Amino acid sequence: MVMQVISVAGALMVLLAYGLNQAGTWRELDAGYLALNIVGSLLLGIVAIEDRRVGFVLLEFAWAGIALVGVARAIRARRAAHHLES
């Protein structure tokens, strides 16, 4: 039962981030978008490990990794904007 709750929470996080992105509320480099994607996919990855679903383990941890690349891009963009303001 706990794994079901974790998987639903993870799925809702990823879907919410995607939905808000599609609605134009969040952009790909917004902190909330990235955070929901990372946490949601990690939760789903944990469930996939528990269920021994290798394909889903790969998918979810790759999804989290791609979102971490987005975090790095967002940090670089903020630093560049800060340097332009200085």
Judge contact between 31 and 5, C-beta under 8 A. Answer: no
Mean pLDDT of 38-53: 95
Mean pLDDT of 34-59: 95
Q: Identify the sign of the CA torsion 30, 35, 38, 43.
A: negative
pTM of the model: 0.85
Q: Using CA atoms, how far apart are residues 81 and 14, in angstroms rounded to an integer?
A: 28
| Percent of the chain as helix, strand, coil, to the nearest 5 | 85, 0, 15
Residue 28, CA distances (Å) to 12, 25, 36, 47 in order:
17, 10, 11, 25
Residue 71 has pLDDT above 90, yes or no: yes
- pLDDT top residue among 81 and 10: 10
